[in-house]
Chains A and B, each alone.
Chain A
Amino acid sequence: MTEIGEERIIAYVDGELTPLEALRFERAMESDAGLAEAVARHRRLRAAIADRFAAVEAEPVPDRLRRLIEHDDTVIPFRALPKADPIRRAGYAALAATLVAGLVVGQLLPRALPGPVTEKGGRIVADGGLARALDRQLASAQPADAGWRIGVSFRSKDGRYCRSFEGGAGAGLGCHDGDGWTVERFVAGSAVRGGGGYAQAGSSSAEISMAAQDMMAGAPLDAAMEKKARDSGWRDRR
């Protein structure tokens, strides 16, 4: 093994040579016992290191590590699904996000609320009391005992009217798509009842506020603009 250096031997053992290079290497090995022995040594080394740590991979994963990922305070970013063909255009990830999100929303919302979300053509849309609140409730004049409180109303960068909301089950963001409110985002949280309504813990509200900031074109609607938009059925798209 005089002409062939250590680096090349290692590259051969690691499968890093091109097929042509590997062929030449093997030809050289046939006539060079020292080279063949060096290859065998490096193979044994690689196997010894790999085997030692393969044992770690086979160990059960400690619960505390699993729990970091399987957390309870779930934040679900709802991906905006294109209307035409959600699977082809948005791909698997978007479909998966919608499905998982739909499942979570369905599970997490308290049964006492009258069916707040439903699935419609691949979208998660507001239903029942939530849909009514998004349709009718003005942020400037909310009933003290409202099940859902409207936060901010704004026009999104893609021209839709969107409104943030919070209630007993969590906080979220809905955008009007002509025939209803697509729930773009929902954060399950723990609400505290008080002062005649629900107030979400800071983190879920903050999460939704940040999402709203990202989606917003210009400034939030003021009271007059909000009322005008509502009276138009949230439809006067530009």
Chain B
Amino acid sequence: MDETRERIRFILESGREEGFLTPFERALLDLLPRLRRFARALALDAADADDLCQIAIERALKAEAQWQVGTRLDSWMYRIMRNSWIDEVRARKRRGETFVAEEEGEMVGDTDDRRIEARVELNKVDRAMAALPPEQREVIALILVEGLAYKEAAETLGLPMGTVTSRLVRGRQALMELLGEAA
């Protein structure tokens, strides 16, 4: 009973502070730092990552009714974000754009200051992550960055366990090579 009272107090107070959020919105807000982290591991460029977050949040708010109370909101959000990122990757491929990440820090032929800055900031880990194919990177992001169990990652991505583990092994081997003993 104390627990219930505590929850009510929390809801009332957090409502007051946050401008009256529904429990769903409240939970989404609490998840934001982790969502940004996951977005950065996928997109690597800081500005791209926050844009990706924005798209995923907008989609989630529209699709709130599809989220089932009692299931994990984080897995649901990871899925939305990952799908949003795949859409973005495909669209850019169609337009023939290259990624900041794929050029591994070279600055040839880019006059966009923000991108150059972002590129310079890419550290060694970012560059190694950027060198991974997207399907390996998302597995690494979910398991190594977000700390999901293999089974949870497989469910989030809608892939068989075997596919997830083989991508994880290949991704890790590639990272190991790229980072060497610096890792």
Q: Do they bind each other?
A: yes
Residues of B within 8 A of A54 (CB): 37
Residues of B within 8 A of A66 (CB): 29, 32
| B residues 129-144 touching A (CB-CB < 8 Å) | 129, 140-141, 143-144
Give 1 or 0 for each of A176-210: 1 = CB within 8 Å of chain B CB.
00000000000000000000000000000000000
A100 to B123 Cα, complex, angstroms: 44
B101 CB–A CB distance under 8 Å: no
Q: Please give the distance in Å from B11's CB to the nearest CB on chain A.
A: 5
Residues of B within 8 A of A30 (CB): none
Q: Please give the distance in Å from A15's CB to the nearest CB on chain B.
A: 8
Using a Cβ cutoff of 8 Å, how many contacts connect chains A and B?
126
Q: Please give the distance in Å from A170's CB to the nearest CB on chain B.
A: 13
The reply to whether B169 and A10 contact each other, CB–CB distance below 8 Å, is: yes
The reply to whether A6 and B36 contact each other, CB–CB distance below 8 Å, is: no
| A residues 26-76 touching B (CB-CB < 8 Å) | 41-42, 44-46, 48-50, 52-54, 56-59, 61-62, 64-66, 68-70, 72, 74, 76
The reply to whether A99 and B175 contact each other, CB–CB distance below 8 Å, is: no
Interface of A is mostly: helix
Q: Please give the distance in Å from B64's CB to the nearest CB on chain A.
A: 9
Give 1 or 0 for each of A154-180: 1 = CB within 8 Å of chain B CB.
000000000000000000000000000
| B residues 21-76 touching A (CB-CB < 8 Å) | 21-23, 25, 28-29, 32-34, 36-37, 40-41, 49-50, 53-54, 57-58, 61, 69
Task: Beyond the given A15-B149, A100-B23, please list 14 additional residue pairs across the A-B interface where CB-CB is below 8 A.
Answer: A14-B143, A45-B175, A49-B145, A54-B37, A64-B50, A65-B32, A65-B36, A65-B50, A66-B32, A69-B32, A69-B57, A74-B20, A97-B22, A99-B11
Binding site for A on B (CB under 8 A): 4, 7-8, 11-12, 15-16, 18-23, 25, 28-29, 32-34, 36-37, 40-41, 49-50, 53-54, 57-58, 61, 69, 123, 125-126, 129, 140-141, 143-145, 147, 149-150, 165-166, 168-169, 172-173, 175-176, 179, 182-183
Binding site for B on A (CB under 8 A): 6-7, 10-11, 14-16, 41-42, 44-46, 48-50, 52-54, 56-59, 61-62, 64-66, 68-70, 72, 74, 76-77, 87, 91-93, 95-97, 99-100, 103-104, 107
